[in-house]
């Protein structure tokens, strides 16, 4: 016979910081959307393969590599952000933002080149 559940509200989960605006969580969600965008772009590049040839695999690889690097740096980035809030010395992730912007620029330029030149 199953035990009846308690009627009271569940205790709130412990947070590693006291930011009521949940800034690290919002930032993590934004990086997750960026990661998802790179996964979708890599799928689009695979659809281009029959029409534009094997060079598209380079674009696919770059998109997957960028998505993978975002995925692998998510947890440490969140931890640094949460610790920065607690210590009141949070710094922006300039390197990650610049690397992602560079990846978008390179993939966009190569994508345009594939469509216009390798037709």
- pLDDT for res 38: 96
Give domain status of residue 49, yes or no: yes
Give the separation between CA 21 and CA 18, rounded to whole angstroms: 9
What is the total count of domains within the chain?
1
The more confident residue out of 107 and 21 is 107
Between helices 23-52 and 56-87, what is the axis angle to 10°? 180
Instruction: Give the residue from 47, 49, 52, 45 showing the smallest Cα distance to 119.
Output: 52
Between helices 56-87 and 94-117, what is the axis angle to 10°? 160
* pLDDT 10s digits, 37-84: 999 999 999 999 999 999 999 999 999 999 999 999 988 888 888 788
Domain that holds residue 47: 35-76+98-118
Give the separation between CA 97 and CA 3, rounded to whole angstroms: 50
């Amino acid at each position: 016979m199953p035990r009846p559940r308690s009627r009271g509200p569940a205790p709130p989960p412990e947070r590693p910081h006291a930011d009521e605006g949940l800034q690290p969580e919002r930032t993590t969600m934004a990086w997750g959307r960026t990661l998802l965008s790179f996964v979708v772009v890599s799928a689009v590049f695979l659809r281009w393969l029959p029409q534009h040839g094997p060079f598209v695999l380079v674009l696919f690889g770059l998109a997957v590599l960028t998505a993978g690097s975002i995925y692998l740096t998510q947890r440490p980035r969140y931890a640094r952000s949460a610790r920065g809030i607690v210590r009141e010395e949070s710094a922006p992730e300039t390197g990650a933002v610049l690397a992602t912007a560079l990846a978008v620029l390179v993939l966009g330029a190569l994508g345009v080149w594939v469509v216009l030149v390798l037709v």
